[in-house]
Structure 1
């Protein structure tokens, strides 16, 4: 068994896609847009086969979130070294 993908709702779909592609080397599909609901998404694939789906619905509520709560916490990415992290953040 393996996790097929993780899905995240985001506020800015295009800039989120650009971030994952530019800084983490993801490859994006052409995207999906449901004309009736306005739902849009991209599947981002990484070299090791891991995938993230980033999604957006127009006028989606962005409610305040407490750092300590049940549910999803975070995703960790490895870029190989501390030096690479420093290079990417510069």
Structure 2
């Protein structure tokens, strides 16, 4: 098997409008295509970063909550590369989004932090 790249990541949210606002207005992702699937009672929103399709945001009726603490088996977090970590943290703070303290990766010596989406999905911001 030969893999080229990650095509997209699917996220199920508990409050579609709140998560849609977070990913578009707070993180700056661009909506590509949005549909409501009546038979599933589900919204689906495709989102892009810098023109590349990366996230499918889904809503389903009454999804169980995600276990973030203690960390559970499965996908651990979503990570975005940023040029200026401190500036991004300041911009998020203006919009009421709190970041964890900045840490330094002991292997790469790069700075990073975590924020959380409306459903407490960990999102890492990793400085380039």
Structure-1-length-normalised TM-score: 0.82
Aligned partner of residue 39 in structure 2, secondary structure: coil
1: CA distance between counterparts of 2:70 and 2:59?
Answer: 22
Q: Deviations over 1:30-49 (max 9, x none)?
A: 41211112121101101151
**Correspondences of 1:44-83 after superposition (within 5 Å):** 44-47=47-50, 49-62=52-65, 65=67, 66-81=69-84, 82-83=86-87
How many pairs are equivalent?
89
2: CA distance between counterparts of 1:50 and 1:29?
Answer: 8
1: CA distance between counterparts of 2:59 and 2:8?
Answer: 16
Aligned partner of residue 20 in structure 2, secondary structure: helix
2:16 to 4, 13, 17: 13
Structure 1 residue ranges (4+ consecutive) displaced by more than 6 angstroms after TM superposition: none
Backbone CA RMSD of aligned residues = 1.8
1:69 Cα deviation from its structure 2 partner: 2.2
Aligned partner of residue 7 in structure 1, secondary structure: strand
Deviates more, 1:64-73 or 1:34-43: 64-73
**2:44 — aligned with what?**
41
Structure with greater strand percent: 2
Q: 1:13 to 1:67 in 2, by over 3 A?
A: same
Higher relative contact order (CA 8 A, sep 6+): 1
